[in-house]
Amino acid sequence: MKEVKVEVIGPEPSCVRCQAAKKAVEKAAEKLKQAGFMVKVEKANIMSREIVQKYGVLVSPSIAINNTIKIMGRVPSPEEVEKLIMEAAR
């Protein structure tokens, strides 16, 4: 099974919405790890030139899964993140 990389993109320090998005991602990742999925969660700074050039995002929180933006400008539910990670793992 391939590893799924999930990036939570937002400012440093994190705003409340970005913290909530990261919690949702971590909750989904933890559940999937128990089911045998390999999930790597990272925090990316939206103020970084590299991140803006890589993804073109200007709205936070944004969530990228395997280098593709899946959610932008809102806090997802852990269930929604879980579904997106499972799709990416296929």
pLDDT for 66-87, tens place per residue? Answer: 999 999 999 999 999 999 999 9
Q: Indicate the Cα dihedral angle 89, 80, 43, 31, nearest 10°.
A: -70
Q: Is the pLDDT of residue 2 over 90?
A: no
pLDDT for 9-26, tens place per residue? Answer: 999 999 999 999 999 999
Q: Is the pLDDT of residue 1 over 80?
A: no
Q: Structural domain boundaries of the chain?
A: 4-89
Total H helices, total E strands in the chain: 3, 4
Residue with tokens 């559940």: 31
pLDDT for 37-77, tens place per residue? Answer: 999 999 999 999 999 999 999 899 999 999 999 999 999 99
**CATH (residue range 4-89):** 3.40.30.10
